[in-house]
Amino acid sequence: MIRRAGPFATTSDSFQNLPTTPTENIYPVNCADDVNNSNWPWRYYRRDNFGEAITIGVVEGSGSTGASSLSFAEGTQIWFSYQSAAAWDFIFSYSAATTGNGQSEDVSIRIFNPITDIDFFANSDSGYGVSASISGTLETISLPRAVVPAFVKISFTAETNAGADWNFAFFDSL
C-alpha cells in the first residue's frame, strides 16, 4: 500500500498542509495525471517575471480540450510534485514568440526535476534581428513512478528586449 502524500510536500516531509504563504520550498502534491478529483484538485505554483509573488493554480477541466491553459509573459516558472505507483505521461502543448526588434532573440522551455537537475524536456530557438519562436502540440514525456513525491519545475524564459508571449496547456488524456 502506498500512503497518499500531501496535500503539500517538502524534500524532507511528504505530509505538509497548505502553507499560509506559498513558498518555493513547499510543493503541491498531485496524483499523477488525475485532474478530475474534486476533493483533491491538481495544483501547481506559479511565479511570473523572475521573482514576483508566488500564486497557486488549480488545473480545471480534462481530456483533449486541455485541463488548464495559461498565458503569460517571459520569466515564468511553474512547479508541482506528484506521486504515482507507475510511470505516467505528462501531456502538454506550448508556444512562444518574440517580436524581433533588431536585437538578439532567445526563447526556451525546460521541464526538469529541480532537486536532481535532471531534464525531462527542453526546446529553444534564437536569432539575431528576427523573431524567435518555439511550439509543440500534445507533447508527451514519461515521468517516472514516485512512491514519495517527485518534484517537477517548468521554466519559460526569453532573452529579448521586446519580450515574449507564452501559452501553455496541460492535458490529462487524449
Could you state, in order of their start, the residue ranges of all structural domains in the chain?
Answer: 8-171
Mean pLDDT of 151-156: 85
Q: Which residues are bridge partners to 68 per DSSP?
A: 170
71, pLDDT greater than 60: yes
Query: To which residue does cell 522551455 refer?
Result: 109
Q: Which residues contact 51 (CB under 8 A, 6 or more apart)?
A: none
Prediction pTM value: 0.77
Mean pLDDT of 131-150: 85
Per-residue confidence at 66, pLDDT binned at 50, 70, 90? very low
Share of the chain above pLDDT 90, in %: 0
For the CA atoms of 143, 145, 146, 151, what is the dihedral angle to 10 degrees?
0
67, pLDDT greater than 60: no
